[in-house]
Homo-oligomer: A and B are copies of this chain.
Amino acid sequence: MKKYTKHDYPLEQIRRHLETGPIVLVSSAWKGETNIMTMGWHMMMEFTPALFGCIISNANHSFELIRKSGECVINVPTADLAEAVVGVGNCTGGKIDKFEKFELTKAPAKIVNAPMIAECYANFECRLYDGSRIEKYNFFVWEVVKAHVAPAVKHPKTIHYKGEGEFRVAGDTIDLAGKFKPEYL
Protein backbone atom coordinates (compact mmCIF):
# COMPACT_ATOMS: atom_id res chain seq x y z
CA MET A 1 0.00 0.00 0.00
CA LYS A 2 1.08 3.53 -0.75
CA LYS A 3 2.73 5.53 2.02
CA TYR A 4 2.48 9.29 1.89
CA THR A 5 5.03 12.05 2.29
CA LYS A 6 3.43 14.58 4.63
CA HIS A 7 4.05 18.13 5.70
CA ASP A 8 3.13 19.96 8.83
CA TYR A 9 -0.38 21.31 8.46
CA PRO A 10 -1.97 24.37 10.13
CA LEU A 11 -4.07 23.29 13.11
CA GLU A 12 -6.74 25.90 12.41
CA GLN A 13 -7.41 24.27 9.04
CA ILE A 14 -7.84 20.64 10.07
CA ARG A 15 -11.60 20.92 9.51
CA ARG A 16 -10.77 20.56 5.82
CA HIS A 17 -10.00 16.89 6.46
CA LEU A 18 -12.38 16.06 9.31
CA GLU A 19 -15.58 18.07 8.91
CA THR A 20 -16.70 16.06 5.88
CA GLY A 21 -17.21 13.13 8.26
CA PRO A 22 -14.86 10.41 7.00
CA ILE A 23 -14.41 7.14 8.77
CA VAL A 24 -11.07 7.33 10.61
CA LEU A 25 -8.57 4.96 12.13
CA VAL A 26 -7.62 5.74 15.72
CA SER A 27 -4.17 4.55 16.74
CA SER A 28 -3.04 4.33 20.33
CA ALA A 29 -0.19 3.17 22.55
CA TRP A 30 0.09 2.30 26.23
CA LYS A 31 2.89 0.52 28.06
CA GLY A 32 4.41 -0.96 24.93
CA GLU A 33 1.11 -2.10 23.41
CA THR A 34 -0.27 -0.43 20.30
CA ASN A 35 -3.64 -0.80 18.65
CA ILE A 36 -5.92 0.57 15.93
CA MET A 37 -9.67 0.97 15.84
CA THR A 38 -12.15 2.19 13.24
CA MET A 39 -14.29 5.14 14.26
CA GLY A 40 -17.07 7.13 12.63
CA TRP A 41 -18.75 9.10 15.42
CA HIS A 42 -16.77 12.32 15.59
CA MET A 43 -16.96 16.06 14.98
CA MET A 44 -15.00 19.28 14.96
CA MET A 45 -15.63 21.36 18.08
CA GLU A 46 -13.39 24.43 17.87
CA PHE A 47 -10.83 26.00 15.55
CA THR A 48 -8.39 27.33 18.17
CA PRO A 49 -7.57 25.38 20.20
CA ALA A 50 -8.22 22.71 17.57
CA LEU A 51 -10.80 20.62 19.40
CA PHE A 52 -12.20 17.37 18.06
CA GLY A 53 -14.81 15.28 19.83
CA CYS A 54 -15.54 11.59 19.37
CA ILE A 55 -17.27 8.56 20.83
CA ILE A 56 -15.01 5.59 21.58
CA SER A 57 -17.06 2.73 22.92
CA ASN A 58 -15.68 1.09 26.01
CA ALA A 59 -16.35 -2.24 24.25
CA ASN A 60 -13.23 -1.54 22.16
CA HIS A 61 -9.90 -2.95 23.23
CA SER A 62 -8.45 0.46 22.36
CA PHE A 63 -10.62 2.23 24.93
CA GLU A 64 -8.32 1.59 27.88
CA LEU A 65 -5.14 2.31 25.92
CA ILE A 66 -6.59 5.64 24.86
CA ARG A 67 -8.10 6.53 28.21
CA LYS A 68 -5.00 5.65 30.20
CA SER A 69 -2.53 7.34 27.87
CA GLY A 70 -4.77 10.36 27.24
CA GLU A 71 -3.47 10.34 23.68
CA CYS A 72 -4.25 9.02 20.22
CA VAL A 73 -3.68 9.72 16.57
CA ILE A 74 -6.62 10.26 14.21
CA ASN A 75 -5.63 8.84 10.81
CA VAL A 76 -7.76 9.50 7.72
CA PRO A 77 -7.88 6.59 5.26
CA THR A 78 -8.98 6.66 1.63
CA ALA A 79 -10.95 4.16 -0.45
CA ASP A 80 -7.87 2.06 -1.32
CA LEU A 81 -7.74 1.15 2.39
CA ALA A 82 -11.43 0.26 2.70
CA GLU A 83 -10.90 -3.44 3.26
CA ALA A 84 -8.27 -2.79 5.93
CA VAL A 85 -10.60 -0.29 7.59
CA VAL A 86 -13.35 -2.91 7.76
CA GLY A 87 -10.90 -5.56 8.90
CA VAL A 88 -9.61 -3.35 11.71
CA GLY A 89 -13.19 -2.71 12.82
CA ASN A 90 -14.14 -6.37 12.81
CA CYS A 91 -11.50 -7.84 15.06
CA THR A 92 -10.11 -7.04 18.48
CA GLY A 93 -6.60 -5.97 19.30
CA GLY A 94 -6.45 -8.03 22.45
CA LYS A 95 -4.97 -11.04 20.69
CA ILE A 96 -3.55 -9.80 17.42
CA ASP A 97 -1.31 -7.03 16.14
CA LYS A 98 -3.55 -5.13 13.75
CA PHE A 99 -0.64 -3.27 12.18
CA GLU A 100 0.86 -6.58 11.16
CA LYS A 101 -2.38 -8.30 10.19
CA PHE A 102 -3.57 -5.46 7.95
CA GLU A 103 -0.11 -4.47 6.67
CA LEU A 104 -0.27 -0.98 8.09
CA THR A 105 2.95 0.80 8.95
CA LYS A 106 3.70 2.60 12.20
CA ALA A 107 5.33 5.98 11.77
CA PRO A 108 6.52 7.85 14.85
CA ALA A 109 4.44 10.84 15.84
CA LYS A 110 6.16 14.07 16.85
CA ILE A 111 4.43 14.80 20.15
CA VAL A 112 2.37 11.83 21.29
CA ASN A 113 3.49 8.26 21.84
CA ALA A 114 0.71 6.74 19.75
CA PRO A 115 1.97 5.78 16.29
CA MET A 116 0.77 7.37 13.07
CA ILE A 117 -0.39 5.15 10.20
CA ALA A 118 1.86 5.79 7.20
CA GLU A 119 -0.73 4.60 4.65
CA CYS A 120 -3.24 7.30 5.67
CA TYR A 121 -2.84 10.62 3.85
CA ALA A 122 -3.55 12.67 7.00
CA ASN A 123 -2.62 12.13 10.64
CA PHE A 124 -3.68 14.24 13.60
CA GLU A 125 -1.88 13.89 16.92
CA CYS A 126 -4.28 14.32 19.82
CA ARG A 127 -4.01 14.93 23.54
CA LEU A 128 -6.99 14.53 25.84
CA TYR A 129 -8.49 17.96 26.49
CA ASP A 130 -11.62 17.04 28.44
CA GLY A 131 -12.48 13.59 29.75
CA SER A 132 -15.42 14.65 31.89
CA ARG A 133 -18.02 12.92 29.69
CA ILE A 134 -16.14 9.67 29.06
CA GLU A 135 -18.02 7.88 31.79
CA LYS A 136 -21.45 9.09 30.73
CA TYR A 137 -21.18 8.88 26.91
CA ASN A 138 -17.76 7.42 26.06
CA PHE A 139 -17.23 10.96 24.75
CA PHE A 140 -13.67 12.25 24.44
CA VAL A 141 -12.72 15.85 23.67
CA TRP A 142 -9.29 15.99 22.05
CA GLU A 143 -6.94 18.84 21.34
CA VAL A 144 -5.18 18.24 18.05
CA VAL A 145 -1.61 19.25 18.87
CA LYS A 146 0.12 18.39 15.59
CA ALA A 147 -1.22 17.78 12.09
CA HIS A 148 0.44 16.01 9.15
CA VAL A 149 -1.12 16.03 5.70
CA ALA A 150 0.17 14.84 2.32
CA PRO A 151 0.20 17.95 0.13
CA ALA A 152 -0.04 15.83 -3.03
CA VAL A 153 -3.56 14.71 -2.11
CA LYS A 154 -5.96 17.36 -3.36
CA HIS A 155 -9.28 15.50 -3.42
CA PRO A 156 -8.92 12.52 -1.07
CA LYS A 157 -11.38 9.70 -1.74
CA THR A 158 -12.34 9.45 1.89
CA ILE A 159 -14.95 6.88 2.85
CA HIS A 160 -18.01 7.69 4.92
CA TYR A 161 -19.78 4.92 6.80
CA LYS A 162 -23.52 4.64 6.48
CA GLY A 163 -24.08 1.44 8.44
CA GLU A 164 -24.94 -2.07 7.26
CA GLY A 165 -21.50 -2.51 5.72
CA GLU A 166 -21.90 0.32 3.23
CA PHE A 167 -19.74 3.38 2.65
CA ARG A 168 -20.13 6.45 0.47
CA VAL A 169 -16.95 7.56 -1.25
CA ALA A 170 -16.28 11.31 -1.35
CA GLY A 171 -17.09 12.35 -4.91
CA ASP A 172 -17.16 15.60 -6.83
CA THR A 173 -15.92 18.81 -5.26
CA ILE A 174 -18.20 21.82 -5.66
CA ASP A 175 -16.77 25.25 -5.05
CA LEU A 176 -19.29 27.83 -3.87
CA ALA A 177 -16.76 30.20 -2.31
CA GLY A 178 -18.10 32.99 -4.51
CA LYS A 179 -21.43 32.75 -2.67
CA PHE A 180 -19.86 33.21 0.77
CA LYS A 181 -19.27 36.37 2.69
CA PRO A 182 -15.48 36.68 2.91
CA GLU A 183 -15.53 36.53 6.70
CA TYR A 184 -17.37 33.19 6.59
CA LEU A 185 -14.74 31.47 4.47
Which residues of B have CB within 8 Å of A89? 180, 184
Q: Judging by beta carbons under 8 Å apart, are B175 and A165 in contact?
A: yes
Chain A, residues 151-170, CB within 8 Å of chain B (1/0): the string is: 00001001111111111111
Q: In this assembly, does A134 line the interface, its C-beta being within 8 Å of a C-beta of chain B?
A: no
Which residues of B have CB within 8 Å of A43? 41-43, 53-55
Docked CA distance A83–B106 (Å): 42
Q: In this assembly, does A110 line the interface, its C-beta being within 8 Å of a C-beta of chain B?
A: no
Docked CA distance A21–B52 (Å): 14
Are A160 and B160 CB-contacts (below 8 A) given A174-B82, A174-B167?
yes
Q: In this assembly, does A133 line the interface, its C-beta being within 8 Å of a C-beta of chain B?
A: yes
Q: In this assembly, does A48 line the interface, its C-beta being within 8 Å of a C-beta of chain B?
A: no
Chain A, residues 75-87, CB within 8 Å of chain B (1/0): the string is: 0000100110011
Residues of A at the B interface (CB closer than 8 Å) are: 13, 15-17, 19-22, 40-46, 51, 53-55, 79, 82-83, 86-87, 89-90, 133, 137, 139, 141, 155, 158-181, 184-185
9 A-B interface contacts by CB (under 8 A): A16-B163, A19-B160, A20-B161, A45-B137, A82-B174, A83-B179, A167-B173, A168-B170, A168-B173
